[in-house]
Copies of this chain bind each other. A is one copy, B any other.
């Protein structure tokens, strides 16, 4: 599957991940060029990274089962490691032969140990689209213009691309449109995905060190795709007043490759202009998004249908502003923390980052290429997100298949 995305991993990407294989059963840090997965401890042992840093032991920290120790290093170290890998690949490719396995022969793991997961809602189009679906009117709450809405997610339920997602059980309204009919318990009936992008924290933000939006890139190691699977019926029932919990905490899928900000930098584009001014710490004179071409495919009965194509440049709130808002009260950020953007949506019919928007809450099913109709996710459906920039830089895929709900039985 993964080898289909070789074009995303050109020499200008140099992403980071954690992989194992039958030859190398211990999960360890890797990069990828086209379909070559390069094991970084072994690369280091060839002397290729010598002299890059006063920090001892790059080879050792690449042998850890997560990228946290590497991500926490200063950005100039990251830059020099990247350059050394690129130079070796261009000029002395033979040196890499012993450190490489084909992508199809490796197993990818969660790239970082994630301490806390925060999920924002930074797309004004998503807010408008959802409001239209639920209330019939396109309204944006006045607070949305002042700071990005956000809730804390579940870090223990974050899985790597490829992990199946079991349909959750839960309590929900018997009739979504008539709450007074009461509550039922059973498998989720309205299972959805949310197309998101997430920042992985690099150098930590100490508690009490408030970030200004314009400085926040310094703390982002890189970016992944995120599927914030959502059980809408369970979620609707619990949202007031404390926000989503069981509607979200059964599974979140992230893509296995962290694309560094250095790789994304050439694709920086100005964020959309805003109609309402923001307070000082959120005011970023060079407020920027990245031109990431995001796609969602639903694969049913072996046939794929593209259901969404939206660009990340539509985001109202930027990742930098999300980090600033997150830390302004004194909350620290730890290396490896995941800060997701919320559903990325445009205004067009093909730019809807979740099924609630695309199928208007299930009222307007979408025709799939296998001849069936998509209202919400059915058991067996596969959801695949991809994200690509130009010139051989992309995210590969973020994928998951829906498994039937477990029969409820007492556990002990």
Could you tell me which A residues sit within 8 Å of B by CB distance? 115-116, 118, 121, 141, 143, 146-147, 149-157, 166, 168-171, 183, 185, 188, 205, 207-212, 215, 218, 231, 234, 237-246, 249-251, 279-281, 325-334, 337, 406, 408-412
Contacts and interface: CB of A to CB of B under 8 A. Distances in A.
Nearest to A212: B410
Number of this chain's copies in the complex: 2
Contact of A281 (B116, B156, B246, B408): B408
Q: Which DSSP category, helix, strand, loop or mixed, fits chain A's interface?
A: loop
B169 A329 contact: yes
A156 B329 contact: no
A242 to B, nearest CB: 4
Given A152-B153, A168-B328, 20 more contacts: A118-B245, A143-B238, A149-B241, A149-B242, A151-B245, A156-B207, A156-B333, A208-B406, A210-B408, A210-B411, A211-B411, A212-B410, A212-B411, A215-B410, A215-B411, A246-B326, A246-B331, A249-B329, A250-B330, A328-B408
Contact of A209 (B212, B250, B251, B411): B411
A8 B242 CA distance: 35
Contacts of A238: 143, 147, 149-150
Contact of A169 (B169, B171, B330): B330
B280 A121 contact: no
B150 A332 contact: no
Which 6 A-B pairs give the minimum distances between C-beta atoms? Answer: A243-B243, A168-B329, A152-B152, A209-B411, A151-B242, A242-B243
Contacts of A249: 152, 329, 331
Contacts of A410: 212, 215
A180 to B, nearest CB: 9
B115 A156 contact: yes
A183 B334 contact: no
24 contacts: A115-B155, A147-B238, A151-B245, A152-B153, A154-B331, A156-B334, A157-B331, A157-B332, A168-B328, A169-B210, A183-B279, A188-B329, A210-B406, A215-B412, A218-B412, A231-B329, A242-B243, A242-B244, A246-B329, A246-B331, A249-B329, A250-B330, A281-B408, A330-B406
A6 to B, nearest CB: 32
A152 B406 contact: no
